[in-house]
Amino acid sequence: MARTIGSTAEATQQRILAAAQDLFAERGYAGTSIRDIAERVSMTKAALYYHFPGKLDVLAALVEPRLRELDEIAGWAEHQRPLNREEALRRMIAFLADPNPTFAILADDPSATHDTAERLDIRARVERLEHALAAGDPRELLAVRCALGTVRGGILGTRLRREAPFSDADLEAVLRAGLAAWDAARGAPAAAAPPASGSGVAGG
């Protein structure tokens, strides 16, 4: 069956995004130009601009699918009453531990984070997640932020320093730390996480 114009354009966009992701990982977002991306996919800058008006548009297209996953976690949490805190942190850990290179680019390149923050409304999306996990209780927000900060630090801090994937034991350790931080900020005894299972945190 003949390919439609729309499908051809989508395939070209995917080639551009794949090339950009590789270049951002190799050289950093700030160190990559539109010309670099165009050369990597063997097209002119003018042809690339037909698909993406600028480098920020390329980065935004890479990041947006990941942020939609964050939105899904927030949407799930908004309908959980009472909230299962362990399940909530397991979902966040699976999200952060996913070996998708896009987040590594953001975490390792402040200019990429700065440029996408306003464009993709990242702060508002994170705040939606925090409020969903706090179940609308402003007194719970500090505990939620402590838990999320612990989980982010454990996962992203480790990812930036090694190539090996996380083991189930690693993920369970991050889960226990996140639950402990959540409870400590509430002034309650830390909840015990269950023993590591074969599926691990990433498996949900």
Tens digit of pLDDT for each residue in 38-97?
Answer: 999 999 999 999 999 999 999 999 989 989 999 999 999 999 989 999 999 999 999 988
Q: What is the C-alpha separation between 75 and 79, in angstroms, rounded?
A: 7
- Give φ, ψ of 121 to 5 degrees: 55, 45
What is the per-residue pLDDT for 169? Answer: 94
What is the per-residue pLDDT for 171? Answer: 94
> Same domain for 134 and 40?
no
* pLDDT higher than 50, residue 141: yes
The top-scoring range by mean pLDDT among 1-10, 148-157, 160-169 is 148-157
Positive or negative: CA dihedral 74, 79, 84, 85: positive
What is the per-residue pLDDT for 1? Answer: 42
Q: What percent of the chain has pLDDT over 70?
A: 83
Mean predicted confidence (pLDDT) in 138-165: 85
Tally helices (H) and strands (E) across the chain: 10, 0
> Same domain for 97 and 198?
yes
> Same domain for 76 and 113?
yes
Q: What is the C-alpha separation between 41 and 21, in angstroms, rounded?
A: 12
Show the domain range for 22: 1-53
The model's confidence at residue 119, banded by pLDDT at 50, 70 and 90, is confident
- Residue 132 is encoded by which pair of tokens? 């969903």
Q: Where are the alpha helices (DSSP H) in 53-100?
A: 55-78, 85-97
Among the candidates 53, 73, 94, a domain finishes at 53
What is the per-residue pLDDT for 51? Answer: 95
Domain tally, the chain: 2
The model's confidence at residue 162, banded by pLDDT at 50, 70 and 90, is low
> Same domain for 155 and 72?
yes
- Residue 7 is encoded by which pair of tokens? 């499908």
